[in-house]
Amino acid sequence: MITATTFDGKFQKAQIGAKDVKRLINSHKLVWINCASLSHGELKSVFEGVESIPHFLVDYCTRRQRPRIDQHGDTVFLVFDMLSYEHSLRNEQLNAIVGGNFVLTITGKNLRQIDRIEELAGTNSAHIRKLGKAYLLYLILDSIVDDYGLILDKIDEDMERLEASLLEGSKENMHHKIIQMGKIMAKIWRSIMPEKEIFHSLGRSEFNMLGGHAAVYFRDTASDLLTISERIEMQRETISNLMEVYASSISNSLSTIMKMLTVLTAVLLVPTLISGIYGMNLAYLPIANHPNGFLVMIIIMIISMLLLLLAFRLKKWI
């Protein structure tokens, strides 16, 4: 699906065909074109006839890449990660091509984030008309970065529930959950780090074709991204602490089990010793031939066990 959002005089959004892309880009009117769920062949047909877009970018847009930004002639090509989180992390790649008076974005799926960004663009259409394609690009990227903050809020809530369960003594799949949380934070970190470099480049106005009037906005988002990276560091440290608490609880449980086994072994030691002695094939053993000898041995065993249990209790071992 291809949608075009124009800002010339009035904010308008419409679904278009591949042949309309060339006409809109060559019209030199400010336009945002979003391509979603297009195959390699369909995307190639979108690029045909658009001289301002290098055709080799088709291959770039259809394979997975880490976040990056490059300039090819009069066109800036940018790769950004769009993250979403609902108990598991999803990562969709956003490819953006900026040139002339257009912003062209390519996503692998029809994403709700894009619909929300289009609504935001409609609200800020006056600023977009005034500041041009650079501000439109800022609006798209800044909205994605804002989502990072919301994702970290949800992860905070999950980590609080995980910590509460751990402190309550629940250990069911706890190790797996902590490991999974650590992997999620590592994935977010791998997205954030190169994106910080992207915003630093945009904030320093390294790309002349974008102009310098939007650099202050990119620097503001770079500051937000720095705050987010600091939050990620704190959350990764929290995960490490949770793993230590989990390992400590497992160690304590094992220690308790070993203590109980030791107490049980010590309590059974005396009866085992007595029964072992009286099981010997000797000519004479005390009260072995007594009519109540068996009952007496049982009583002695029980008393010895109770005395050992009392001793352990007084020493607070049990």
141 and 271 both lie in a single domain: no
Confidence check: pLDDT of 200 > 70:
yes
pLDDT on residue 278: 79
Q: What is the pLDDT of residues 75-133, one digit of tens each?
A: 889 999 999 888 788 888 999 988 888 888 988 776 778 888 888 888 888 888 888 88
Neighbours of 189 (CB within 10 A): 14
* CA neighbours closer than 13 Å in the CB half-sphere of residue 237: 6
Please say whether the beta carbons of 143 and 120 come within 8 A: yes
240 and 290 both lie in a single domain: no
Please say whether the beta carbons of 85 and 103 come within 8 A: no
239 and 303 both lie in a single domain: no
Q: Which CATH number covers residue 57?
A: 3.30.460.20
310 and 217 both lie in a single domain: no
115 and 194 both lie in a single domain: yes
87 and 48 both lie in a single domain: yes
Most confident of 51-55, 130-134, 186-190, 250-254: 186-190
147 and 212 both lie in a single domain: yes
128 and 265 both lie in a single domain: no
- Proportion of the chain above pLDDT 70, given as a percent: 98
The pLDDT mean for the chain works out to: 85
Domain boundary among 200, 224, 249: 249
210 and 304 both lie in a single domain: no
Query: Per the structure, how many domains does the chain have?
Result: 2
Write b or e for each residue in 47-80: b if 16 or more Cβ atoms lie within 10 A of its Cβ, otherwise e: beebeebbeebbebbbeeeebebebeeebbbbbb
179 and 206 both lie in a single domain: yes
Confidence check: pLDDT of 168 > 70:
yes
Residue 190 belongs to domain spanning? 2-249
260 and 225 both lie in a single domain: no
Higher pLDDT, 209 or 128: 128
Residue carrying structure tokens 């020493």: 315
pLDDT on residue 79: 92
218 and 292 both lie in a single domain: no
Domain boundary among 249, 281, 306: 249
Confidence check: pLDDT of 297 > 70:
yes
Domain boundary among 214, 249, 284: 249
Helix pair 40-47, 18-26: axis angle to 10 deg: 30
